[in-house]
Amino acid sequence: MRPKKHETTGLSDLLRARLEQIINLKYELVQLAGRMDWEWIDGEIAPLYSDKGRPGIETRFVIGLLLLKHIYGLSDEGVCERWVYDPYFQHFTGEEDVGAVLIGQCSGGSIATIKGRFTETRSQQDRLVGLSYSSRAIMM
C-alpha cells in the first residue's frame, strides 16, 4: 500500500531539538536534499505500490537511503547503521526532529524490498541510477 505523504510540520516541540538547529545548513547533503524534487520522485515511484496491504515506508526515506547507499558505496546494513548515528543522513531522508529517530524503521530488509520493486522495471532502475549520478555532480 502506498505510504502517507510526508508533511513538514514546521512546529517546534519544546522537548525536541530540530535537526536544522544542530546541523550545518551549508553541508553538501543538506543542500542536495533542498535541491531534490521529492514530489516528482514520489510521483514516479507511486505506480510501484499496491492498493492493498499495510502502508509502505515513506518514499523519501527509502529513496534517500538508496541514494546515500550508492553515493557513499555502503551496504544495505551499512547505510542503515550510519543513518542511526548521522544527523545529515537523517535530514536527507526527511527526518525533522532529533528525538524522532526510529531504529527499527531503517533495516536492510526495507532497502531490499524497494530494490525488488525497482528491478521489475528497468526504466525505473535507470531513473534511480541517473538521479544518483546527478546528485553526485551537484555535490562536487
Q: What are residue 97's phi and psi, to 5 degrees?
A: -110, 145
Asked if residue 110 lies in contact with residue 117, where contact means CB atoms within 8 angstroms, the answer is no
- Measured in whole angstroms, the distance separating CA 74 from the mean position of its chain's CA atoms is 14
What is the percentage of the chain residues whose pLDDT exceeds 70? 59
Asked if residue 100 lies in contact with residue 17, where contact means CB atoms within 8 angstroms, the answer is no
- Specify the pLDDT at position 113: 58
Cβ neighbours for 122, distance < 8 A, ≥ 6 positions apart: none
Asked if residue 113 lies in contact with residue 96, where contact means CB atoms within 8 angstroms, the answer is no
pLDDT grade, residue 53 (50/70/90)? confident
Summarize pLDDT for 96-131 with one digit per residue, the tens.
877 655 555 665 555 665 566 555 555 555 565 565
pLDDT at 134 over 60: no
- Specify the pLDDT at position 62: 85
Which cell numbers hold the place of 23? 546541523
Summarize pLDDT for 28-43 with one digit per residue, the tens.
999 999 999 999 988 8
This prediction has a pTM of 0.70
Alpha-carbon torsion (15, 21, 23, 28), positive or negative: positive
pLDDT at 67 over 60: yes
Q: Where are the domains of the chain?
A: 30-139
pLDDT grade, residue 48 (50/70/90)? confident
Which cell numbers hold the place of 77? 546494513
